[in-house]
Amino acid sequence: MKIKIKINGTIKTINVKADEYLVDTLRNNGCVSVRRGCDTTSCGICTVLLDGAPVASCSYLSCRADSHEVTTVEGIQEEAALIADFFGHEGADQCGYCNPSMALTLYAMKRELKNPDDDEIRAYLVGNLCRCSGYVAQHRAIRAYLEVE
């Protein structure tokens, strides 16, 4: 089936299978920042933005994305670099496997929540697992990033 989807600002018409997940469609179309993790929506590694909101692409059927806008980290490169700088400065960047999904989630959080407190930040990030860190340095980096206008 054909779907029309806007990926990182470019409208594309793509043939997808009825049972194809968005993670596969995006990777097949050059968005290699979208990664596989658990394939059960538990880890958040496959997170992308659908119409600006974080979704797990490993469980989102591509046909449902028809007529929607999808953003991957390739679509927010400048902002992702800024986020990476904050993570690096705080020593929160370790293996990097979760970085694309974390960057997208933070990007969405900054646009959705105004002056979130620590509990709101933790709640927003609940679906993004990092197996390398204890989240303390990440939290400092996130706080610093959210304070930049």
**What span, in angstroms and rounded, lies between the C-alpha atoms of 51 and 123?**
20
**Looking at the predicted structure, is the pLDDT value of residue 149 above 80?**
no
Query: Does domain 2-74 sit in CATH 3.40.190.10?
Result: no
What pLDDT does residue 115 have? 93
Please state the φ and ψ torsions of residue 71, each to the nearest 5 degrees. Answer: -120, 130
The model's pTM: 0.93
**Contact in structure between 48 and 22 (CB atoms under 8 Å):** yes
The residues, ordered by sequence, that sit 6+ positions from 30 with a Cβ below 8 Å of its Cβ are 74
What pLDDT does residue 120 have? 96
For the record, the structure tokens of 113 come out as 């929540």
What pLDDT does residue 96 have? 81
**Looking at the predicted structure, is the pLDDT value of residue 19 above 80?**
yes
Average pLDDT, the chain: 94
The domain locations on the chain are: 2-74, 76-147
What are the tens digits of pLDDT across the range 41-100?
Answer: 889 999 999 999 999 999 999 999 999 999 999 999 999 999 999 999 998 888 888 899
What pLDDT does residue 92 have? 86
What are the tens digits of pLDDT across the range 109-146?
Answer: 999 999 999 999 999 999 888 878 778 899 999 999 99
What pLDDT does residue 112 have? 96
What pLDDT does residue 132 have? 80
The architecture that CATH gives domain 76-147 is Orthogonal Bundle (1.10)
What pLDDT does residue 66 have? 98
**What span, in angstroms and rounded, lies between the C-alpha atoms of 106 and 49?**
11
Helix, strand, coil in percent for the chain, rounding step 5 = 40, 15, 40
**What span, in angstroms and rounded, lies between the C-alpha atoms of 1 and 16?**
5
**Contact in structure between 63 and 16 (CB atoms under 8 Å):** yes
